[in-house]
Structure 1
Amino acid sequence: MTSATDETGTPTIRMLVRLSVPAALVGVVSALVLWGLDELAGLLEDGVWKALPGAIGVDPSSGWWIFGVLSVTGFAIGLSVWLIPGHAGPDSATTELIGPPMRLAVIPSLLLVTVLALAGGVSLGPENPIIAINTGLLVALVARLWPAVPTNLVVLITAAGTIGALFGTPVAAALVFTGVVAALKTGGALWDRLFLPLVSAAAGALTMTLLAHPSFTIPMPEYNTPRAVDVVSAIVIGVVATLLGLAAVYVFPIVHRVFHGLKYPLLYITLGGVVLGLLGALGGPITLFKGLEQMGELVESRADYAPWQLAGIVGVKLVALVVAASAGFRGGRIFPAVFIGAAVGVLANAIVPSIPLAVAVGAGVLGLTLAVARDGWIALFIAAAVTGSTAVIPLLVLAILPTWLMVSRAPQMLIRPPAPEEKPPAAPTQAAAPDS
């Protein structure tokens, strides 16, 4: 594709127009795969948490049932990672949101363990696995249908389409890829480089909206008139939420090392399921799953919880996130972080009722998401989307300033493989000295 870019490396208008159709199709397929994954997990979830306990006369919210289901889920996922070809790909604790495409042979095992985790109540979201699944599938598909399209471009537009589908809007993808493009430090117009990812993101978001109507917005009292004291409240809650998130980030590698010290996936993932079962029995159904639906339930029924109960929910879900992410389960950390942040906001509102709920929840989500995801755009977007209020955005922008300073030099919630040790250079071979 010699005419695909100009002298600065910027895509030409001709290339952008020509690749718009493949980009849109990639977005649609990304959304369809995500929708299929969600539907399959939902069917299994209904069977495990509704049909089966109803058939045998068991309360699915009882501690024993929660413990049993999560323990069996851990065993099933551990068995799958151990025995199924592909072994579900790399541990999600070691992967970022967007990574290189995986082999097609790995995808079935990753798909299986992701469905099991989502249906079984594991405190992880679908974002990391579904982006990996879609990237692997679509890189192979596009290479066959449009071999001239560069692989790195397919990775970008697939990730954009999947992010657009996950959040139900291309805005999230635009914000994420603004940072990605900036990190590339290449010349050319930003929007030229964002054009194809945004085509894919818009197609993915529209497809998912037509199929499932995803929404992060939680019904809560309307907030239209910011006050000076609300700025202080947002900053304080954001800082507290960030501190909680950073506590999880710092303990994460320690917990990961403990679980993986058992060496065998069947052992450490099963143990992770047992621990998650104990935590779920302690925290109740509200602390299970990825947390999106549970976040809405918590906000709507907040009057039913005393402050100490809300604090317990925050603590249980935070520990569950660390355990699930450390014990070899495949899943993303953003969705449960959003739930924990919302719970921090509900707790703050319960302690100080004069703090508007939208301010408290938005700041809590901002701080937790920022600490876990280390992406200011995503944190701002999700916090604003959850509240559904434009008036809260200036407060969130102010609140993100001190919280970003807190996380900018902190470690990421990511396990990086140790760098290979450099071998010392071999000593030069010396020729034998001539006899004197």
Structure 2
Amino acid sequence: MAADPPPPAEIPPAGPSSAATARAGTTPVHRLLPVIVPALAVGVASALVLLGISLLAEKLQDVLWGTVPDALSIGRHSSLWTIVVLTACGLVVGLLVRMVRGHADPDPATTGLVDPPLAPGVVPGLLLVTVLTLAGGISLGPENPITAANIALTCWLGRRFAPGTTAELWISLAAAGTIGALFGTPVAAALILSETLASHPGPGALWDRLFGPLAAGTAGALTMTLLAHPSFDLSLPPYTHPHWGDLLSSVVIALAGAVLGLTAVYAFPYAHRFFRALKHPVPALALGGLLLGLLGALGGHLTLFKGLDEVRVLAADPSGWSAGQFAVMAVVKTAALLIAATCGFRGGRIFPAVFVGVALGLCAHALFPSVPVALAVTCAVLGVLLAITRQGWLSLFTAAVLVGGAAVLPILCIASLPVWLLVTGRPQMQLHEDGTPLR
């Protein structure tokens, strides 16, 4: 077994095949035009897969957290029901992981957002456990498994219907289409993939290489926007004018978020080693579900699920909780993310990290009301995401879109500099196959 997982796939020039790009006299326009239709198709299909899985998860969530407890006359978010549902979810997911073909993807602690394609036969089991994870209240998002499923299906179909094309082309299109759909904008896909391009330089101008992925990301984002109307804007009081005092507060809050995120990062391999010692997915996931249920009972129902709907509840009433309550929610969600990502549940870490940052930012605002709430939230989200994802553009973009304004961007850029000095070169929240962390 290899010590390292495969690196993120390199994104080639946006043309139909490596042979085509090598033909003498072929202009960039001739290389780029043939990829438009496949890119648009992949973007639309990627968004539909995401939307379909999300809708299935929402329907099952309504049953688990509404229909069943109401029929049993049990409080929907009582401590008892929270513990029962999450423990049962862990047990069922563990059984499915044990039984389905391919065991529903490799160990999720060793996978990133964009990885080499899985075998197509793994996809049904992966999507099934993803639905259960999202519906059961597990503190993980859909981004990693949905991206992996879309990459696997796109590569399989693309290579069948266009044998002369490269797998890297289809990987880039599927990843961009899914990320565009997740965030409702192709900008997110372009920013994330540009970091991959920077670490894997290749021939051609940057925009030539991003042409196909940008088309796919646009198609995915438009499809999701037209069908589901996603929004990340928390409708917080706008941040309009930077002040000198904001420089210090932004750096302090962002660093606090990074420290909290790094705490989970450093604990990641130890938690993973603990669950791996159980040597079987059923007890590992059942125990993980039980621990998550106990954490949910401690932190309240807002600390469950992927966190996007829950942060809107927090942001709608920043004065509705005390600083201590916000701090408890941030710590509980961090611990829940750590356990869910190491015990074997399939899911992404970006959206739960956003919840951690929002709760921490609201805590900072509650402690120091002179700090604008929009600034406190965005800086905390920036710090947490930089520590957990190590994606600079993604972190800046996600933090900024939460408040829907550009005035906060200069402050965020300043705050990102000391945070990056803190997190760069440190372990990442992803492991090699031997259990050691990536750096």
Same fold (TM over 0.5): yes
- Residue 347 (structure 2) pairs with residue 320 (structure 1): no
Residue 379 of structure 1 is aligned with which of 387, 390, 395? 395
| Contact residue 366 and residue 396 of structure 1 kept, 8 A | yes
Letter matched to residue 344 of structure 2: G
* Other structure's SS at 2:425 match: coil
Alpha-carbon spacing, 1:191–1:75, altered in 2? closer, same or farther (3 Å)? same
- Residue 47 (structure 2) pairs with residue 39 (structure 1): no
Q: CA deviation at 1:147?
A: 2.2
What pairs with 1:299-318 in structure 2 (closer than 5 Å)? 299-318=315-334
Aligned mates of 1:244, 1:11 — CA distance in 2: 50
Aligned mates of 1:316, 1:2 — CA distance in 2: 48
More moved, 364-373 vs 175-184: 175-184
Aligned mates of 1:189, 1:119 — CA distance in 2: 43
Residue of structure 2 equivalent to 1:242: 258
Aligned mates of 2:47, 2:333 — CA distance in 1: 28
Aligned mates of 2:290, 2:42 — CA distance in 1: 39
Runs of at least 5 residues in structure 2 that lack an aligned partner in the other structure: 1-16
Letter matched to residue 241 of structure 1: G
Residue of structure 1 equivalent to 2:384: 368
Aligned mates of 2:146, 2:434 — CA distance in 1: 26
What pairs with 1:165-244 in structure 2 (closer than 5 Å)? 165-244=181-260
Residue of structure 2 equivalent to 1:100: 116
Residue of structure 1 equivalent to 2:284: 268
Letter matched to residue 373 of structure 1: T
Aligned mates of 2:137, 2:377 — CA distance in 1: 23
* Other structure's SS at 1:304 match: coil
What pairs with 1:415-434 in structure 2 (closer than 5 Å)? 415-418=431-434
Aligned mates of 1:310, 1:355 — CA distance in 2: 16
| Contact residue 231 and residue 395 of structure 1 kept, 8 A | yes
| Contact residue 161 and residue 205 of structure 1 kept, 8 A | yes
Give deviations 1:409-434, integer Å, cap 9, x for gaps: 111101111399xxxxxxxxxxxxxx
More moved, 223-232 vs 372-381: 223-232
Aligned mates of 2:321, 2:18 — CA distance in 1: 63
Runs of at least 5 residues in structure 1 that lack an aligned partner in the other structure: 421-436
- Residue 95 (structure 2) pairs with residue 70 (structure 1): no
- Residue 121 (structure 2) pairs with residue 120 (structure 1): no
Aligned mates of 2:194, 2:99 — CA distance in 1: 40
The structure that has the greater radius of gyration is 1
What pairs with 1:391-410 in structure 2 (closer than 5 Å)? 391-410=407-426
Alpha-carbon spacing, 1:17–1:196, altered in 2? closer, same or farther (3 Å)? same
Alpha-carbon spacing, 1:401–1:267, altered in 2? closer, same or farther (3 Å)? same
Q: CA deviation at 1:4?
A: 2.5
Aligned mates of 1:334, 1:416 — CA distance in 2: 20
More moved, 305-314 vs 286-295: 305-314
Q: Aligned residues: percent identity?
A: 50
Residue 341 of structure 1 is aligned with which of 348, 357, 363? 357
Aligned mates of 1:301, 1:229 — CA distance in 2: 25
Residue of structure 1 equivalent to 2:405: 389
Residue 81 of structure 1 is aligned with which of 55, 76, 97? 97
Say what the alpha-carbon RMSD is for the aligned residues: 1.7
Aligned mates of 1:99, 1:225 — CA distance in 2: 41
Q: CA deviation at 1:144?
A: 2.1
Alpha-carbon spacing, 1:152–1:254, altered in 2? closer, same or farther (3 Å)? same
More moved, 244-253 vs 176-185: 176-185
* Other structure's SS at 1:5 match: helix
Letter matched to residue 57 of structure 1: S
More moved, 100-109 vs 297-306: 297-306
Give deviations 1:77-110, integer Å, cap 9, x for gaps: 0010111222101121110110111111111110
- Residue 66 (structure 2) pairs with residue 50 (structure 1): yes
Aligned mates of 2:320, 2:206 — CA distance in 1: 48
| Contact residue 363 and residue 383 of structure 1 kept, 8 A | yes
| Contact residue 192 and residue 393 of structure 2 kept, 8 A | yes
| Contact residue 18 and residue 165 of structure 2 kept, 8 A | no
Aligned mates of 1:375, 1:67 — CA distance in 2: 34
Q: CA deviation at 1:308?
A: 1.1
* Other structure's SS at 1:303 match: coil
Q: CA deviation at 1:15?
A: 2.1
| Contact residue 8 and residue 187 of structure 1 kept, 8 A | no
- TM-score by structure 1 length? 0.94
Q: CA deviation at 1:216?
A: 1.1
